[in-house]
Each structure stands twice: as C-alpha cells, then as structure tokens.
Amino acid sequence: MFYKPLFVFFLLLISTFIHAQNTSITGTASDAAGKIIRLKTWSDQISYRDTTLTISQIDSSGQFKLQFNLTATIPAWLSIGLSKAELYLEPGHAYQIKFHPVKRPSNYPNFNPYLLPQNLEFTLADSDSSGLNSLIRKADSLLDDFLQKNLDPINPKRNKSNVEPFLEELSNHFQSINNKFFTEYIQYNTVTIREIFGLMGKAEIARKYIRNSPVLYNHPAYMNFFNDFFQEYLLSQSQNISLSDLDYTINNLQSLPALMDSLGKDSLLQNETLREFVLLKNIRSLYQSDNFNKKAVLKILTDIENTSKFPEHRLVAQNLIFELQRFETGQPAPDFRLNDIKNKTFSLDDFRGKYVYLSFYTSWCRPCIEELDTLQKIAAKINDSICFVTISEDNSMEILSDFLKKKTWDWTFLFDDTQGELPEKYGINSFPLYILIDPEGNFLQFPAPAPGEKLEKTFNQILSKSR
C-alpha cells in the first residue's frame, strides 16, 4: 500500500531539483557583527514548525550573504538570535537588505537585544515599486487602515456599507499587477474582510473558495483563511459530524479509514484531499481535548504520516507528531555541550541518574537574578539528588565570569555559545525559563515552577516519590 505515496513523493522531489532557482540575500547588520544569521521558513502552515534554509555568519564589518535554492514564492524570515525580520522570497531573485540599528538601554551595558523575540526593522532594496515585498507592505497598510477605521468589535456589521467601495478601490489600486502570488494574497484577504463584516456566510465561502478549489499549502493568505474557516470545525462547527462518531472511531477503533469515512458525512468534506487536510487542521484540538485519548490521536497521525496519498499531508503529520509531544513529560530533553568559566565541558548526559533543575538566564534580566538569589537558599536545603544547572545567554564567557565573582551561587553555570540554536531547541521566548528533567534525561516539568513559586515543595514531592 506504500508504493503510490512514495512514488508521488519521489516525483515531487525530482521536480523540486529540476525547477529550483538560485536565490540570494546580501545585507548589512552592523549591530550584529560576528553573530549567526539564519534564513527560516515554515515547514508547513498547520503545525507551524519552522525549518532553516541556510545559515551564515555576519562578518566583523556587519556584512552577510545567504545563497539558497527556491522552487516557489515563500514567506520567510531572517533570524538573529530570537529576533527576526519577515519578508517574502521569490525564486531566482537577489535581495539586498539593511537592518536598522537596534535600541540598547544605556543602563544595561551587557544587554543583548537579539535575545528578545522582536521584529527587526530593515530596509529592503526592491528593484521597483512592483516588488512583491513592496506590494504586500502597501496592501497590508491599506487593509490595516480600513479595519482600524471601520471595524467595531462589538458590532462588526455596523460599517459594512463601507466594505465593497473599499474592496473595489483596493482592486483598482493593484489592477495592473501581474503576480499570481500577490493576486491570491489580495483574493483571500478580501474573502476574510467580507466574512468579518457579515457580507459572506460560511456556505457561500465554502461554495466559492473551498469546495472545488485547490489547497494552496504554502500560501500564507490562503492558509490564514483556511485555518480561520476550519478552526474547531470537527468539534463544534460541522452539523454532520457527531462527537460520538469521533469518540468511537478515534478512541475505540483508533482507525484512520473509519474516521475518514465518518468525516465524509459532512457534505463539504467529500473531497478526500480536503477532508484529510481538515482533519490535520483539527488534530491539535482533538489532542488537547479531554474527550480523546492522546495515544489514539497520535496513532491517527502516525497512520497519516505512513499511508497518506498526499506528500504534503505526510509532512504535516510528521511535524504535528513532533510539535504535540515536544515538551511533554517523558520526552527527551535536547542535549547540549557547553563550557563553564573554567573551560570544562558539560553535557546533559553528565547528569544522568539525578534530577536536573535547568534554568536559562541573562545578567541584564532583573527577575532572573532575583529568582537565582532565591534558588541559592533552596539549593542549600536540597541534597545532591537534584542537580542545579544554569545556562547564561549573555554575550560572552567574560560577562558570565565577572558576574559570578559578585555572587555566592555554587552550582553549575554554563555559557551558551550556540548563538540561538539551544534556545530554539528549548522553545525559549523569554527569560528566565526553568525546566525539570528526570534522571533518564527526559522532561519532567516544562516549564517548571520558578524558585519563588513553592519550588522547595515541588522538589520534596519529587524526591519522596523516588525513594
């Protein structure tokens, strides 16, 4: 049964190599000299798991260059640490980008702005005003301005008489543009506007834009529209899919074919491609619902990954399996190899056999320092059954060394020199972050309580269970 999907997959793979075009980004980031810059995009727009296309180092003068192959227009972002600059990339184009200086507070000399999950400001040298990024920026500006002036959150239909004149003006503004990606961008944003203001109902939208239309897996405007339309569809929107049917086919039968047959009762989901993709869109809700067994939902996903006729769906299923379980109790914590201030290397494996209370901090994060001062008092009361490991995300080992001279903290401190790679693995969006890892190196609590959140009680409960 696997031959046909694999055959389709290899055909797509061959097509990718044939149609790939060399694309490049050159630029300047004077504030980030010496740092790593990554070009990333979404692997899919259901799981929103990201993937790195290429990596480069910004040189001492702030210059960088990235080269890669593209087969289609994609949304992407340039990532420096946890900060990013979003843009759209077309195959075969050469882009020039200049990052604007980032703000640094004068009272924090060690402050690293790239450890903030922020959007970086930049200037992109489009060849002319018809460049895709310029077009989308202009369209977004017009759409945002209209919504800000006309959308009443209490009564969205109040100003609906203004919608069609605006959409006509929007269409006229861009009528000379011959770019399929941009045309679709306007189209699906237009549909969303009409739905928001009550000018189109679900049935009409389904008939015109879903039932007999192709799935645009990699188009962000389409996928935003698709994700909004089918949000909680299986659990609350569909009139023909019952909770009892879902319960029986998922929890009892744990059968993908039976579940697909049951979803087929919905007239909108007669198309097999759409039906399976809507199931993937709703898997996260099913997984997080108390009505469904998590292992049964994961089995359904695994069956899609292994047997689906559609390579795009197999990829989404694989990504969802990863994302849904990523930080759950029992999943392996990402390993690391980092040095302390004495240049001794530690890995997570070095602490096997003991519980690990892992923390990430920066010296310019005031809550981090206050919590670590509290942790010092707790650590003094805990026996060596729990190892304390704190990872510094400061700019240099020297900063960590100087900082520890001022403190009496006496557990393991390591310096992260991965330039954003380790924080990505641990899904860090802010500091501090605390994690409990069991003696086998698996997540026990993610996130774990902070030192000021009855942490000592948590430790005592864990140790009492392990005795």
Residues 6+ apart with CB under 8 A from 134: 124, 126, 128
Alpha-helical regions (H) of 264-328: 272-288, 294-307, 311-325
- Give me the residues of the chain with pLDDT under 50, please: 1-17
Exposed, middle or buried by CB within 10 Å (0-12, 13-18, 19+), for 465?
exposed
The reported pLDDT for the residue numbered 130 is 65
Between the alpha carbon of residue 115 and those of residues 76, 416, 421, 423, 463, the distances in Å are 19, 12, 12, 9, 34
pLDDT tens track for 332-362: 999 999 999 999 999 999 999 999 999 999 9
pLDDT tens track for 30-41: 999 999 999 999
The reported pLDDT for the residue numbered 6 is 41
**Is the pTM higher than 0.85?**
yes
Phi and psi at residue 85, to the nearest 5°:
-125, 120
